[in-house]
């Protein structure tokens, strides 16, 4: 077997066997396959695609390229939740405590953010003292005791994906459904949970801009997980406008806690309850969706889910002031409004532009290794369908460095589209795809 024959085979639209895919993944991991051949192969996959079997084999081979987290010491059916990345998406901070309060063990590994979307670990790290790095024994002990832990990914999880993704990023081969599906699922398979709830975002602020492509991505990921023996479900949810009102790390933690206390925005509450209900179903704490949703609502209304988040934060060294302003989280020194240039109704809010604006203020990383400012971000005051008067504030920028303001302000001005008539609102939950 040699790399150029396999690149040619894929270029000509033929399927690669399991052994051939494993050969390529080994070459990516141990670097015997040079960058130019990895790039050529990725481009061949980009144009020719991969069938279901190839995509599953690619995900499995990549998952095995590094450590596989052993969750066999955790009692019960462990369930993970993953979002393909959105703006203002803090559902993990809400759905995980709800599912854990309902008795579902959640052993979650999350990443830091890059680009216009924020990472869950960055959000948790805005809580003073919070420790995202835990050793394996402490992680398992915490999950068995609390039913929930959220830690950062270890250094040796799916090394093949790290190299392949870096090459794809530089060679215009990221936007390939089999490559995205196997990249995401390889990390989920290596994370060891028995069940995985995927939140596949659709729209301007998401990887996939249209419903058909998102559905294909969701189906590919569900099929990979199912083929690997996992319990799987994918929720397709809209990401045309940011989720909730807050974008930025500490601001999102505040909004998540407000939501757990029953005072969150409608969209964030609805999606988090649904994702938690799907986790409860996979974890077999309920067997019908209506029952699982009922349990989710009860965990929220009783305060048990809020208590669970408090316990998780305290267990991982975080300290916050539950009763104090902004829960004692860092707050930015400067606040400035972005005002409507005309009156009417908010027709759309470009989530991608809002994410970029938050990044300009310092909430996100342009490049790996950039230092972020946990306090900064954007607070939306209006969402799609809201009426606005000329000059009325649409959003508030929270920031610390004055020189960061102009670029963010320009992006926010462009992000809001105001029309003279009230737009029809799109559903937040578009579809749910289950393994057969
Ligand atoms: N996220 C990933 O982890 N991998 C991709 O290929 C795209 C998004």
* DSSP per-residue codes, 216-236: HHHHHHHHHHHHTT-EEEEEE
Query: Is 168 a catalytic site residue?
Result: yes
pLDDT at residue 209 in the model:
83
Query: Is 350 a catalytic site residue?
Result: no
Residues 202 and 317 in one domain: yes
pLDDT at residue 306 in the model:
96
pLDDT at residue 368 in the model:
74
Residues 184 and 298 in one domain: yes
pLDDT at residue 110 in the model:
86
Regarding the beta carbon of 183 and ligand 1, being less than 6 Å apart is answered yes
Residues 232 and 293 in one domain: yes
The answer as to whether 63 is a domain residue is: no
Pick the catalytic residue from 176, 183, 191, 237. 183
Regarding the beta carbon of 180 and ligand 1, being less than 6 Å apart is answered yes
Query: Is 122 a catalytic site residue?
Result: no
Cα separation, 43 vs 411, whole angstroms: 33
Residues 191 and 238 in one domain: yes
Residues 178 and 38 in one domain: no
Unique residue bearing structure tokens 């669970």: 308
Residues 317 and 342 in one domain: no
Identify whether the C-beta of residue 79 lies closer than 8 Å to the C-beta of residue 149: no
The answer as to whether 71 is a domain residue is: no
Distance 334 CA to ligand 1 centre (A): 34
The answer as to whether 235 is a domain residue is: yes
Distance 85 CA to ligand 1 centre (A): 9
Beta strands 393-399; 334-339: pairing state = antiparallel
Which residues of 277-343 form beta strands (DSSP E)?
Answer: 334-339
Residues 157 and 262 in one domain: yes
Residues 399 and 290 in one domain: no
| CATH number of the domain residue 360 falls in | 3.90.1170.30
Residue 243 DSSP class: S
pLDDT at residue 387 in the model:
97
Residues, the chain:
436
Distance 249 CA to ligand 1 centre (A): 21
Atom 8 of ligand 1, nearest CA residue: 180
| CATH number of the domain residue 177 falls in | 3.40.1030.10
Cα separation, 276 vs 296, whole angstroms: 6
Which of 259, 292, 323 is the last residue before a domain boundary?
A: 323
The answer as to whether 219 is a domain residue is: yes
Which of 269, 290, 323 is the last residue before a domain boundary?
A: 323
Which of 323, 357, 376 is the last residue before a domain boundary?
A: 323
Atom 1 of ligand 1, nearest CA residue: 184
Cα separation, 43 vs 45, whole angstroms: 5
Which phi and psi angles does 310 have, rounded to 5°? -60, -45
| CATH number of the domain residue 27 falls in | 1.20.970.10
The answer as to whether 288 is a domain residue is: yes
Regarding the beta carbon of 173 and ligand 1, being less than 6 Å apart is answered no
Three-state SS across 95-148? HHHHHHHCCCCEEEEECCCECCECCHHHHHCCCCCCCCCCCHHHHHHHHHHHCE
SS3 call for 59: helix
Pick the catalytic residue from 10, 123, 168, 382. 168
Cα separation, 326 vs 60, whole angstroms: 43
Residues 140 and 255 in one domain: yes
Identify whether the C-beta of residue 213 lies closer than 8 Å to the C-beta of residue 96: no
The domain of 224 spans: 79-323
Number of Cα atoms under 13 Å in the Cβ half of residue 139: 21
For the chain, how many structural domains are there in total?
3
Atom 5 of ligand 1, nearest CA residue: 180
pLDDT tens digits in sequence order for the chain, 436 residues long: 999 999 999 999 999 999 999 999 999 999 999 999 999 999 999 999 999 999 999 999 999 999 999 999 999 999 999 999 889 999 999 999 999 999 999 999 887 776 677 789 999 999 999 999 998 899 999 999 999 999 987 768 899 999 999 999 889 998 899 999 999 999 999 999 999 999 999 988 787 888 999 999 999 999 999 999 999 999 999 998 999 999 999 999 999 999 999 999 999 999 999 999 999 999 999 999 999 999 999 999 999 999 999 999 999 999 988 778 889 999 999 999 999 999 999 999 999 999 999 999 999 887 777 889 999 999 999 999 999 999 999 999 999 999 999 999 999 999 999 999 999 988 999 999 998 7
On the 0-12 / 13-18 / 19+ scale of CB atoms within 10 A, 33 is buried
Regarding the beta carbon of 158 and ligand 1, being less than 6 Å apart is answered no
Atom 7 of ligand 1, nearest CA residue: 180
The answer as to whether 431 is a domain residue is: no
Pick the catalytic residue from 90, 134, 187, 382. 187
SS3 call for 104: coil
Identify whether the C-beta of residue 354 lies closer than 8 Å to the C-beta of residue 378: yes
The answer as to whether 392 is a domain residue is: yes
pLDDT at residue 155 in the model:
65
Q: Return the ligand 1 atom nearest residue 165 CA.
A: 6
> How distant, in Å, are the alpha carbons of 191, 224, 313 from that of 149?
13, 25, 9
Query: Is 422 a catalytic site residue?
Result: no
Nearest to 383 by CA among 93, 85, 88: 88
Residues 148 and 207 in one domain: yes
Beta strands 429-434; 231-238: pairing state = antiparallel
Query: Is 183 a catalytic site residue?
Result: yes
Residues 360 and 249 in one domain: no
The answer as to whether 273 is a domain residue is: yes
Regarding the beta carbon of 184 and ligand 1, being less than 6 Å apart is answered yes
Quick one: tokens of 378? 């954007």
Residues 295 and 345 in one domain: no
SS3 call for 401: coil
């Amino acid at each position: 077997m040699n790399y150029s024959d396999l690149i040619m085979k894929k270029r000509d639209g033929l399927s690669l066997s399991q052994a051939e895919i494993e050969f390529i993944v080994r070459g990516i991991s141990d670097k015997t396959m040079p960058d130019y051949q990895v790039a050529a192969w990725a481009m061949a996959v980009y144009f020719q695609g991969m069938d279901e079997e190839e995509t599953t084999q690619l995900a499995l081979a990549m998952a095995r390229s590094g450590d596989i987290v052993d969750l066999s010491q955790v009692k019960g059916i462990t369930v993970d939740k993953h979002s393909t990345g959105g703006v203002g998406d803090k559902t993990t901070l809400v759905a995980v405590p709800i599912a854990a309060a309902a008795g579902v063990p959640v052993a979650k590994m999350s990443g830091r953010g890059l680009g216009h979307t924020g990472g869950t670990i960055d959000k948790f790290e805005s809580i003073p003292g919070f420790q995202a790095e835990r050793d394996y024994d402490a992680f398992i002990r915490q999950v068995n005791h609390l039913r929930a832990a959220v830690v950062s990914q270890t250094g040796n999880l799916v090394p093949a994906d790290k190299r392949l993704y870096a090459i794809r990023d530089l060679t215009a081969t990221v936007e390939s459904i089999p490559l995205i599906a196997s990249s995401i699922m390889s990390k989920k398979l290596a994370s060891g949970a028995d069940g995985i709830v995927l939140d596949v975002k659709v729209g301007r602020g998401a990887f996939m801009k249209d419903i058909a492509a998102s559905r294909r991505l969701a189906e590919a990921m569900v099929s990979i997980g199912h083929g690997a023996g996992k319990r799987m479900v994918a929720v397709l949810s809209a990401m045309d406008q940011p989720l909730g009102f807050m974008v930025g790390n500490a601001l999102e933690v505040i909004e998540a806690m407000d939501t757990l206390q029953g005072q969150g925005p409608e969209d964030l509450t609805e999606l988090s309850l649904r994702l938690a209900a799907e986790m409860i179903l996979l974890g077999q704490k309920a067997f019908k969706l209506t029952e699982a949703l009922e349990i989710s609502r009860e965990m929220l209304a009783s305060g048990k889910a809020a208590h669970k988040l408090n316990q998780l934060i305290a267990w991982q060294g975080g300290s916050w002031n539950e009763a104090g302003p902004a829960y004692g989280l860092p707050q930015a020194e400067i606040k400035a409004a972005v005002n409507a240039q005309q009156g009417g109704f908010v027709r759309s809010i470009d989530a991608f532009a809002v994410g970029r604006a938050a990044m300009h203020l310092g909430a996100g990383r342009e490049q790996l290794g950039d230092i972020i400012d946990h306090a900064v971000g954007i607070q939306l005051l209006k969402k799609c369908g809201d009426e606005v008067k000329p000059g009325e504030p649409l959003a508030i920028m929270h920031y610390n460095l004055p020189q960061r303001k102009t670029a963010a302000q320009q992006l926010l001005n462009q992000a809001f589209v105001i029309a003279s008539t009230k737009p029809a609102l799109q559903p937040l939950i578009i579809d749910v795809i289950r393994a057969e």
